[in-house]
Amino acid sequence: MKRTIILTLLILVAAAGFSQGPPGPPPFDEEKIEALRIAFLTRYLDLSSDEAQKFWPVYNKMQDELKVILDKEKDLRNGKKIDEMSDEELAKMINSHFDNEQKLLDIKKKYAEEFKKVLSLKKVALLADAENEFKREMLKHARDKQGPPPGGGKPNGGEPDERHREKP
Q: Where are the domains of the chain?
A: 32-145
Average pLDDT, whole number, for the chain?
79
- Distance (Å, rounded) from C-alpha 12 to C-alpha 31? 36
pLDDT beyond 90 at 8: no
pLDDT tens per residue, range 93-131: 999 999 999 999 999 999 999 999 999 999 999 999 999
What burial letters (b/e) apply to 102-113, b meaning 16+ CB within 10 Å? ebeeebeeebee
pLDDT beyond 50 at 142: yes
Contact 115, 55 (CB under 8 A): yes
**Closest listed residue to residue 55, CA positions, set 131, 117, 105, 126:** 117
Q: Which residue has the higher pLDDT, 67 or 76?
A: 67
Out of 13-22, 132-141, 146-155, least confident range: 13-22
Q: Which amino acid is at 162?
A: E
Contact 61, 51 (CB under 8 A): no
- Distance (Å, rounded) from C-alpha 105 to C-alpha 33? 24
Q: Which residue has the higher pLDDT, 38 or 80?
A: 38
pLDDT beyond 50 at 16: no
pLDDT of residue 155: 43
Q: Give the number of other Cβ atoms within 10 Å of residue 41's Cβ.
A: 20
Confidence of residue 73 (pLDDT cuts 50, 70, 90): confident
The conformation of residue 164, written as its DSSP 8-state character, comes to: G
What's the rounded mean pLDDT across residues 47-52? 95
**pTM for the full model?**
0.67
Confidence of residue 147 (pLDDT cuts 50, 70, 90): low
18: exposed, middle or buried (Cβ count in 10 Å: 0-12, 13-18, 19+): exposed
**Closest listed residue to residue 107, CA positions, set 72, 76, 77, 141:** 72
pLDDT of residue 130: 96
pLDDT of residue 166: 44
The conformation of residue 78, written as its DSSP 8-state character, comes to: T
Report CA dihedral (104, 106, 111, 114) to the nearest 10 degrees.
-170
Contact 100, 26 (CB under 8 A): no
pLDDT of residue 165: 42
**Closest listed residue to residue 128, CA positions, set 69, 49, 59:** 59
